[in-house]
């Protein structure tokens, strides 16, 4: 797979912002972490080309929470594209983050292009549920666009493969086999990136690469049969494409970065 130009993508996920700026959950102030992440991303040189936000902008499905999230995310100096998370509300996201006047509560999925690559953002959210699902219409659309043999990244909220933590895997994408089959048969999908699980992992299944990103809010433990909440710092993923080489790293926010906003 060869690209026309070099570019980089930031994957940011799971800020879980509440209605009040001072709100604390599991010892974390989500909006403070988001401020620190925005500042850290804006400090990267050269600036990344774009940001893909893989869901759960808010924890409370309210206008006020979205406005608080928007106040910070719009300070990013790069374009931001959104995937739906299980805590998100499609109509509020469309109104507040996409600035759409005619809102819809239908699934929000699409593809964009960057320097010879295709970036697909799927909607795995099911209103009222924590687990995810992709409807038939979206799968048909995905299979159709992947017939064009262009190198592709897939972004989504829910994990389509088990990560080995039983309670989290109970909340993964339901019936993922058809999705995996479509991605495998396409032959052009380089990697699949997701959020939802609040920790970093790298999994290879049937010659497909799957990667998660830490939450920018509180962290879950990646070890089964341990405490649910972990003390790891929040972070984001940087995906760098350089001709035919893809490099993906996670940056955990430092103590200095986090404490700037407390």
Residue 94 pairs in a beta bridge with none
- Using an 8 Å Cβ cutoff, are 158 and 201 in contact? no
- Rounded to an integer, what distance in angstroms lies between the CA atom of residue 4 and that of residue 22? 45
pLDDT given for residue 190 in this prediction: 95
CATH number assigned to the domain covering 7-259: 3.60.21.10
pLDDT given for residue 224 in this prediction: 86
pLDDT given for residue 44 in this prediction: 96
- Rounded to an integer, what distance in angstroms lies between the CA atom of residue 188 and that of residue 177? 18
Length of the chain: 262
What residues does each domain of the chain span?
A: 7-259
Looking at the chain, which runs of residues are DSSP E strands? 7-12, 50-53, 80-82, 110-114, 117-121, 152-156, 189-194, 202-205, 208-212, 219-220, 229-230, 235-242, 245-252
Would you write out the chain's pLDDT as a tens digit for each of its 262 residues?
444 569 999 999 999 999 999 999 999 999 999 999 999 999 999 999 999 999 999 999 999 999 999 999 999 999 999 999 999 999 999 999 999 987 789 999 999 999 999 999 999 999 999 999 999 999 999 999 999 989 999 999 999 999 999 999 999 999 999 999 999 999 999 999 999 999 999 999 988 999 999 999 999 999 988 889 999 999 999 999 997 799 999 999 999 999 876 6
- Using an 8 Å Cβ cutoff, are 159 and 172 in contact? yes
């Amino acid at each position: 797979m060869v690209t026309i130009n070099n570019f980089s993508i930031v994957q940011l996920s799971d800020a879980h912002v509440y209605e009040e700026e001072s709100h604390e959950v599991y010892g974390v102030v989500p909006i403070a972490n988001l401020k620190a992440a925005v500042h850290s991303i804006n400090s990267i040189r050269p600036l990344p080309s774009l940001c893909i936000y893989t869901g759960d902008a808010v924890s409370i499905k309210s206008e006020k929470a979205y406005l608080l999230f928007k106040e910070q995310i719009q300070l990013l100096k790069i374009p931001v594209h959104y995937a739906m998370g299980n805590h998100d509300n499609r109509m509020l996201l469309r109104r507040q983050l996409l600035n759409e006047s005619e809102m819809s509560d239908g699934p929000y999925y699409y593809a964009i292009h960057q320097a010879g690559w295709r970036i697909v953002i799927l909607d795995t959210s099911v209103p009222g549920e924590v687990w995810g699902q992709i409807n038939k219409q979206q799968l048909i659309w995905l299979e159709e666009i992947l017939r064009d043999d262009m190198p592709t990244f897939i972004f989504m909220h829910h994990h389509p493969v088990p990560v080995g933590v039983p309670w989290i895997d109970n909340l993964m994408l339901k019936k993922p086999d058809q999705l995996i089959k479509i991605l495998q048969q396409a032959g052009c999908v380089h990697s699949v990136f997701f959020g939802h699980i609040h920790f970093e992992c790298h999994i290879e299944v049937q010659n497909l690469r799957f990667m998660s990103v830490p939450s920018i809010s509180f962290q879950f433990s990646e070890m089964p049969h341990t405490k649910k909440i972990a003390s790891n710092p929040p972070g984001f993923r940087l995906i760098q494409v350089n001709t035919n080489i893809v490099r993906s790293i996670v940056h955990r926010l430092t103590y200095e970065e986090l404490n700037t906003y407390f």
